[in-house]
Homo-oligomer: A and B are copies of this chain.
Amino acid sequence: MLALIIDPHPRVVHDHPEPARATGEAIVQVHTAGVCDTDLQILRGYMSHRGVPGHELVGHVVEADAPGWLGRRVVTDINAGCGHCASCMTEGGHHCATRTVLGIAGRDGAFAERIVMPERCLVPVPDNVDDDRAVFAEPLAAALHVLDEVRGMTSDAVVIGDGKLGLLTAMALVGEITDVTVVGRHRDKLGLAESFGARTCLEAEAPATLRANLVVEASGSVSGLAAALRIVRPKGTIVLKTTTAEAHTIDLAPVVINEIRVVGSRCGDLRRAICVLSKLDPTALIEARYPLSRADDALRHAGRPGARKVLIDVG
């Protein structure tokens, strides 16, 4: 089948093997996939992933054990756990020690005609959420997961980063918290953040007095945590979203002195995201779309500084 593979550079191939389905798994025909900054990090060596990248998708089920799935339009949780450990029983296998992760670790991803995932990872998409919205389910779930750290805070949040995840996170926080400020580098994307109710400021113009109880570090850059440490109030919380292939060099004494809570936050609940997507429309984030046969161009486009969401149409 048609797919983009990393070997170790990205290239489109026509003869990638069809995914093989085990009991309890489903084959999903991909309609559209989204390019995430994590895909770009993978190209730089993050997770040493080889094979097909891509973990944001909407599609429909073409093979499954349970007949109810056949033909259903779906999105999917990207963590394929063992299905029977404590993590799988209580939190969908997000921390299962033997998990594979779609397009990131040990499992071919969505920049291909078809993928295979356990049926238990699939989430049906209702008719009022079209494909262009549904393809945001995975990153929006990750953004909504930040709300789990809000813990009674009602005001003052700063999101560092006006990239795709930063903007989705700001969307998730507006309405839950008053005074959400996005600090970014791109006037056009900050304009988008303003359009859904966030305050904004350019990083270069951020006042030295900017402070918040909750700071979400979604800059995609190793410098983001240091910026977050300058902004967060004593005893405040930093939610760390950025994963990079590089190590940070950072003075962590302020974490101890100011008793900061730095919380890593990764994947969220796809059902919650699909539910929110019936009311929230993130499609203004879409900047470009490419056919799967030009997925390598899609990755290059997504790598441009300031690029918004790039979609890959599979069919």
A interface list, Cβ under 8 A from B: 46, 87, 94-95, 225, 234-235, 240-244, 246-266
Asked, given contacts A87-B234, A252-B240, whether A266 binds B259 with beta carbons under 8 Å apart, the answer is yes
Bound Cα distance from A246 to B253, whole angstroms: 9
B255 touching A262, Cβ below 8 Å: yes
Q: A95-B235, A240-B255, A249-B249 are in contact. List 12 more A-B contacts (CB 8 A).
A: A244-B253, A248-B248, A248-B250, A248-B251, A248-B252, A250-B250, A254-B264, A259-B264, A259-B266, A261-B261, A261-B264, A262-B263
Interface of A is mostly: mixed
Given contacts A259-B95, A261-B263, A247 and B247 within 8 Å (CB-CB): no
Collect the chain B residues with CB atoms within 8 Å of residue A259's CB: 94-95, 263-266
Q: Is the CB of A243 within 8 A of B265?
A: no
The reply to whether A243 and B256 contact each other, CB–CB distance below 8 Å, is: yes
Nearest-Cβ distance from residue A274 to partner chain B, whole angstroms: 22
Min Cβ gap A147→B in Å is 14
Chain B's closest residue to A251 (CB) is B247
User: Sorted from nearest, which 3 A-B pairs have the closest CB atoms?
Assistant: A95-B234, A255-B264, A256-B264
Contacts of A253 in B (CB 8 A): 46, 243-244
Residues on the B chain within 8 Å of A247, using CB? 249-252
Question: Please, which residues of chain B bring their CB within 8 A of the CB of A254?
Answer: 264
Q: Hey, which chain B residues are within 8 Å of A235, CB to CB? A: 95
Question: What is the CA–CA distance of A261 and B176 in the complex, to the nearest angstrom?
Answer: 22
Alpha-carbon distance A266/B252, docked complex (angstroms) = 13
CB distance from A87 to the nearest CB of B (A): 7
* Bound CA–CA A247/B225 (angstroms): 13
A104 closest partner in B (C-beta): B257
Complex interface: chain B residues within 8 A of A257 (CB):
243, 264, 266
> Which residue of the partner chain B has the closest CB to A248?
B252
Instruction: Report yes or no: B248 in contact with A256, Cβ–Cβ below 8 A.
Output: no
Set B251, B258, B260, B264: member contacting A258, Cβ < 8 A? B264
Q: Cα distance A219–B257 when bound, in Å?
A: 16
Q: For the complex, what is the distance from the CA of A146 to the CA of B256, rounded to whole Å?
A: 12
Taking CB as reference atom, which chain B residue is nearest A233? B95
> What are the residues of chain B within 8 A of A266 when measuring CB–CB?
256-257, 259
Which residue of chain B has its CB nearest to the CB of A241?
A: B256
Interface centre among A235, A247, A252, A258, by most chain B C-beta atoms within 10 angstroms, is: A252
List the B residue with the shortest CB-CB distance to A247.
Answer: B251
Q: How far is the CA of A252 from the CA of B247 in the complex (A)?
A: 7
Instruction: Give which listed residue, B255, B260, B265, contacts A256 with CB less than 8 A.
Output: B265
- A-B CB contact pairs (8 Å), 15 listed: A87-B234, A94-B259, A95-B235, A240-B252, A240-B255, A242-B256, A244-B253, A247-B251, A248-B248, A248-B249, A249-B249, A249-B250, A254-B264, A260-B263, A260-B264
